[in-house]
Amino acid sequence: MSASSSHDLGFFAGIISTALLLLASVNIMQYQGGWYIAWSVLLYVAIIPIICCTWIIGLFMVWTAYDRYRRTRAVTDQFLKDLESGCVVSTNN
């Protein structure tokens, strides 16, 4: 899964979970008999796992971005060391 598709997945999961959480809280506050139980079940079965998955995807995105930065920085530092020591030869004529 690419970074952009996981970002989109996390974004839409966050929107959906927030909307469902708002609907559930409004309906629970109104306490409409059987709907109270239905929204309570939905809250624990669907909304909380979606929020947790959104956080996990977000943390994964942060970790992969940091890892990419760290590897790029290591390559750049090595190139600069080689450049300073004269190991890098220009291929331009």
What's the whole-model pTM score? 0.43
**60 confidence band (pLDDT: 50, 70, 90):** confident
Residues 6+ apart with CB under 8 A from 71: none
pLDDT mean across residues, the chain: 74
For residue 60, give the nearest of 9, 20, 15, 16 by alpha carbon.
9
Q: Which whole-number Å values give the CA distances from 21 to 38, 61, 71, in the listed order?
A: 13, 24, 39
Cα 90 from Cα 93, distance rounded (Å): 8
